[in-house]
Amino acid sequence: MVAFALLAACSASQALAPEPADADAQAQWAAQCKDWDEWDKPGPPFQVSANTYYVGTCGISAILITGSEGHILIDGGPDNAAGIVAKNIEALGFRLSDVKILLHSHEHHDHVGGIAELQRLTGARLLASPQAAAVFASGTASQDDPQFAEHHAFPAARVDGIVHDGEVIRLGDIALAAIATPGHTPGALSWDWRACESDACATAVYADSLTPVSSDGYRFSDHPAALAAFRRSLEAVAGLDCDILLSPHPSASGMRDRLLKGDLAGPPSCKAYAEGLAKRLDQRLAQEADGG
């Protein structure tokens, strides 16, 4: 049974960082994949830290967190990449039937198009934000999505529960805090958890894209409530104390560069990531003010 609770002492305790993950597997991914690579290009899975694994493609992230009573998967890539994600999970030695919960970042086809097939393969329960739940049910982006006109439909998926801002998803010894981060989409979520091995822990954050991109004709400045929520999302991510930063597009947070340097826990910090995106939003608003 999934339990929801406010984030508490689970992330407050201090501990030494876990032992480094398999450097050879990380180097293999960096050698096989390019920056901003194809969404459906297979890439080898690797251990991020402790119980956290990268099981996505070369161009799109999918994150597996393993636990004593089953596993949690965040995102599933586009619909033609669900099989790649499934094979990566099995290649690490985990059973698909042990994936018990499916979560999401933002509700676009390149990140959640494969969720329906992964739900079928695993039997897992899909939990979604209220806004994303409607998108999963229809398989189409919502009309208040800045990129509504650009994103094609994807296979609809059954939503089994709603996740609200600040709630914690618990499964055995796993606890993931949900952070509502609307901006790139209305229903986007970011995630914060402790990647632990014995008593050694690191704080991992899967921060949503939060890029101010849109369909032609959409102006962020014409939507003051959504813009204010966007600002709050950036502030929320900037305030996170993350040892390891992951993002839906791995290149957005420089994952390959960090793997090549052999330091996945290196920069950017959550604060630097959010500040860079805030500058992009400011630039976009300045362009709109100039009639662009």
Amino acid identity, position 83: G
Residue 17 falls within a domain, yes or no? no
52 HSE (CA, 13 A, CB side): 30
Cα 119 from Cα 125, distance rounded (Å): 7
Residue 146 falls within a domain, yes or no? yes
Which of the two residues, 196 and 213, has the higher pLDDT score? 213
Active centre residues (catalytic): 106, 108, 110-111, 184, 218, 249
Query: How many angstroms separate the Cα of 251 from the Cα of each of 115, 134, 145?
Result: 22, 29, 23
| Domain span holding position 75 | 22-289
Q: Number of structural domains, the chain?
A: 1
Which region among 9-23, 161-175, 266-280 has the lowest average model confidence (pLDDT)?
9-23
Whole-number pLDDT of residue 8: 35
Paired tokens of 203: 């704080």
Paired tokens of 240: 């996170």
Q: Taking 50 as the threshold, does the pLDDT of residue 130 lie above it?
A: yes
Cα 140 from Cα 145, distance rounded (Å): 10
Residue 4 falls within a domain, yes or no? no
- Inter-residue contact 69 to 1 (CB < 8 Å): no
Q: Taking 90 as the threshold, does the pLDDT of residue 10 lie above it?
A: no
Q: Taking 70 as the threshold, does the pLDDT of residue 20 lie above it?
A: no
Cα 217 from Cα 65, distance rounded (Å): 39
Whole-number pLDDT of residue 21: 64
Whole-number pLDDT of residue 3: 36
- For residue 130, is the peptide bond before it cis, meaning its omega torsion is within 30 degrees of 0? no
Cα 137 from Cα 173, distance rounded (Å): 30
pLDDT in tens, 218-242: 999 999 999 999 999 999 999 999 9
Whole-number pLDDT of residue 199: 82
Give the mean model confidence (pLDDT) for residues 9-19: 41
Paired tokens of 136: 């999963």
Residue 8 falls within a domain, yes or no? no
Q: Domain containing 274 — which CATH number?
A: 3.60.15.10
Give the mean model confidence (pLDDT) for residues 1-27: 51
pTM of the model: 0.93
Q: How confident is the model at residue 4 (pLDDT cuts 50, 70, 90)?
A: very low
Residue 13 falls within a domain, yes or no? no
